[in-house]
Amino acid sequence: MKQSKSPVATRCGNTEFRWGERTYVIGICNLSPDSFAGDGIGSDIEAAVAQAKRMVAEGADIIDVGGESTRPGTGPKSVDDVDDELQLVIPVIERLASELTVPISIDSYKSAIASRALKAGAAMINDIWGLKRDPRIAKVAAEAGVPIILMSNQRDAPCHDIMAEVTSDLERSISLAIKSGIAEPNIIIDPGIGFGKTLEQNLEIIHRLAELKSLGRPILLGTSRKSVIGLVLDLPADQRLEGTAATIAIGIANGVDMVRVHDVKPTMRVCRMSDAIIRRRQIGD
């Protein structure tokens, strides 16, 4: 794939993400009770709404709602196994879409979940399998005209040359998306920290994130509370804030455009400071 021009803007619901101007923050609303980060809300709709509203008040640009655990060691469910997940995510998305001013994203690789979530008010899809687990999700995104996050996931095929594999994997996902009718401005890429990578490979990806700019798409970094931080610092998930902050600052220095996090308030401070240095963004902008 030849190098593309730098991305300019992506429309998501009532928000326009102007890539390069600042770092955007996605707040995680995890409804799975089996969350690796210990933040799973389950079926408590009021708790989910309260959490999302707090994240928006703290500065989140988008709320990402998911109903399936992606903790290491949990295999993907069948793309046809959707009933429980729908019962978790749809009522929450309906409430959030009616009560929040920021867009809602659905964290799912299943076309049936994504389709129902968009009808309920979601405005973005976050696919951790980059269109490869359920290719029909590409058609859902294309027909709705919404942005989609494409992740590079090595859980099915461990590799040795990690940056070469992540880059080529994302190239394949981008190609599949465009062939399916997804507009290029609606494609966001994610190297997939923690998904089928070793500790050393995760650290290498973060160190070499700038290489992914050659793909010409905005980059999402999702390191919040992940095992790479726990292994380096020997800390449990609920004590990984400073480690997460370090990866975010380094990510922004290497061209990351968006970060997905559990802890919005401190992340906003890290992003503002990093943007002031890297993007020369002025205080108060």
**CATH numbers and ranges of domains, the chain:** 19-72+80-278 (3.20.20.20)
Residue 198 carries which side chain, given as an amino acid letter? T
Sign of CA dihedral 107, 113, 115, 120: negative
Give pLDDT, residue 254: 97
Residues 7 and 19 sit within 8 Å (Cβ to Cβ): yes
| 53 given a catalytic annotation | no
Residues 219 and 258 sit within 8 Å (Cβ to Cβ): yes
The helix/strand count (H/E) of the chain reads as: 9, 10
Q: What is the DSSP letter of 6?
A: P
- Beta partners for residue 64, in sequence order: 28, 105
Instruction: Please name which of 222, 160, 157 lies closest in space to residue 189, comparing C-alpha atoms.
Output: 222
- Let me know how long the chain is: 285
β-pairing, 15-18 vs 9-12, is antiparallel
- Beta partners for residue 18, in sequence order: 9
Please list the pLDDT of the chain residue by residue as tens digits (285 residues).
444 567 889 999 999 999 999 999 999 999 987 655 455 677 789 999 999 999 999 999 999 999 987 665 555 555 556 888 999 999 999 999 999 999 999 999 999 999 999 999 999 999 999 999 999 999 999 999 999 999 999 998 888 899 999 999 999 999 999 999 999 999 999 999 999 999 999 999 999 999 999 999 999 999 999 999 999 999 999 999 999 999 999 999 999 999 999 999 999 999 999 999 999 865 555
Rounded distance between C-alpha atoms, residue 171 and residue 181, angstroms:
16
| 226 given a catalytic annotation | yes
**Helical ranges in the chain per DSSP H:** 45-58, 83-99, 111-120, 136-144, 162-179, 199-207, 227-233, 241-253, 264-278
Considering the entire predicted model, what is its pTM?
Answer: 0.92
- Rounded to 5 degrees, φ, ψ at 151 are -100, 150
The residue from 260, 265, 269, 280 that is catalytic is 260
The residue from 95, 225, 226, 240 that is catalytic is 226
